Structure 1
């Protein structure tokens, strides 16, 4: 690994858009993926674990371990997004089986050990509920200061998608998100306010299919399924590229506009449970604890995403 290559861990709950995101990371020379950490979320942990191995097999990678993490939130009852992602999480035909079994080390232990082995250098990209990350922070109080940064796809400066107030990854474990946002770790948030601007339109799905690769065809099939859900729920022409944009934030941060602000996570029962309360105008006077994406250059992002996916088998 050269000085210009970022060591990263991908933590998430694949998942349609997680799969596209992780394929993007695995295809990108700017990062070295040290491991995948599966967590509960879009579907249950056994499926997110299996899907992690499927993604590696699609990418032709046998050098990246899969670590199994938390199967439930810290306090609340588990959620599922199978209605959005399909019962398996990856509703595509002809998917390869995982090539390797999961690693024996628990995801939380792997996060702690890897951060200590790369002090100040490791980027953790979380595209699901933050349960694994919060557990690691609680078990290893030195961990937040050791990370280069955490980049999280979750939350929003405005509306939610699972409730009027809450985005799914935040709602799936708001107590974990509260731990991470209060930890002092360098943190960037890529929320619905920008990810809903990045849509896999029919033209973009067809561009993926025209790559003529198995990975391109799988991505096109997954995003076609996704588009059906988004047409029914939101009247949109395609699904939003939520998780791929979080990877894009690591690879090409200049494509997003960032604003430092204080973010609280509402953990109180009621209509705002799971909401990320973003102090856009510094009305509270509290110091910023995150850099939040507030705008994105959508076209350049998709063109770069397409170019990277073209490098995969």
Structure 2
């Protein structure tokens, strides 16, 4: 059988062409060894996960889940259902932390009574402070699992604990596993505390979280609504504020490489109805997911996923030392950052901080990957 009559070879060649088009690394042979990634998240399956799951040359080893935007069990049900729709039930969904290490709903309410209302509180959000076109928060108890619009999952989550799974994977594949964190960092902090070698055995950490000095860049109504988060508090960002102590533990861990995607570059992006229509028209499974996705939000997690897949979308970055404020005061959960030489030198780690990206390249990369059969 000739090379080009081999189905597997044709698939590999297609993967090579897509990798070259998206700026993904390839070796001198047909394709580089698959890159291994664990997604740590706090919501339902999004475009970010879908892109990683469909990207050529990527092995998603699992998705670990902790409470954040929603309660953990609600997220797990939604994540499993999304994987069913994408026919990727081979990817384990691993339950993690239900509660942050120290922060809580009561502590957050106490903080608000002293320092003012938060724009977004995730699983603790009961109602919006001001009128908005955003969907009303779905507040419920931690053990309640509402039925999503596309139905409940029939598959079950892993019986392993997320922290143990994370540790087991980096030991199984030392120096090969990227941790892509798109939510509160409780699971990662627990893994690091259980095994001090955890971070050093991983290949790298890429995370969406933190905020430096974002400015509204788009003039749409939705952009103005999401800009409320940083107009008066530019250093506040939900993912890391939900569990500041966990984030600080992770920031001090000995990672070989850290890439931070703060909220700043997301202000140049918006998940438009037109983009959702384009990707839905190219893939029937994606169209089923798109039907329940709300357009208008900045593309926070999508940037983090695509920066890892195609670093060429980054147009400006910096090298900074980063930590999170864990003092229970007005700045609790805020992002702290220093140029090299100015950090307190208490084991903070240097991070590559993504400041701006090319939104057109972001959408083109995602559309090309999501359009794959």
Q: Same fold (TM over 0.5)?
A: yes
Distance 2:363 2:307 in 1: 12
Q: Provide closer, same or farther for how the CA distance between residues 92 and 223 of structure 1 changes in structure 2, counting only shifts above 3 A.
A: farther
Q: String of CA shifts for 1:178-215, please: whole Å, max 9, x gaps.
A: 00111121211111001222211333233234336242
Distance 1:126 1:92 in 2: 24
Q: Provide closer, same or farther for how the CA distance between residues 92 and 244 of structure 1 changes in structure 2, counting only shifts above 3 A.
A: farther
- 2:338 maps to which residue? 279
SS in 1 for 2:354: strand
- 1:80 maps to which residue? 122
Q: How does 1:297-308 map to 2 (within 5 A)?
A: 297-308=358-369
Q: Return the TM-score normalized by structure 1.
A: 0.86
* Of 298, 307, 327, the match for 1:268: 327
* Of 7, 14, 33, the match for 1:4: 33
Structure 1 residue 168: deviation in Å?
A: 0.5
- Greater C-alpha radius of gyration: 2
Structure 1 residue 271: deviation in Å?
A: 2.2
| Structure 2 gap ranges (5+) | 1-30, 106-120, 128-133, 140-144, 215-227
Q: 1:216·1:310 contact (CA, 8 Å) conserved in 2? A: no
Q: 2:47·2:302 contact (CA, 8 Å) conserved in 1? A: yes
Q: How does 1:84-233 map to 2 (within 5 A)?
A: 86-87=137-138, 93=149, 95=150, 97-158=152-213, 161=229, 164=233, 165-185=235-255, 186-211=257-282, 213-219=284-290, 221-224=292-295
Structure 1 residue 3: deviation in Å?
A: 5.0
SS in 1 for 2:122: coil
- 2:63 maps to which residue? 36
Q: String of CA shifts for 1:252-307, please: whole Å, max 9, x gaps.
A: 11211332111121111222111111225764485752111011011011111122
| Structure 1 gap ranges (5+) | 225-237
Q: How many residues align?
A: 295
Please report the RMSD computed on the Cα atoms of aligned residues, expressed in angstroms: 2.6
Distance 1:114 1:280 in 2: 33
Q: String of CA shifts for 1:17-39, please: whole Å, max 9, x gaps.
A: x5111111111113100111111
Distance 1:30 1:172 in 2: 33
Distance 1:270 1:198 in 2: 32
Structure 1 residue 223: deviation in Å?
A: 2.7
Distance 2:55 2:264 in 1: 25
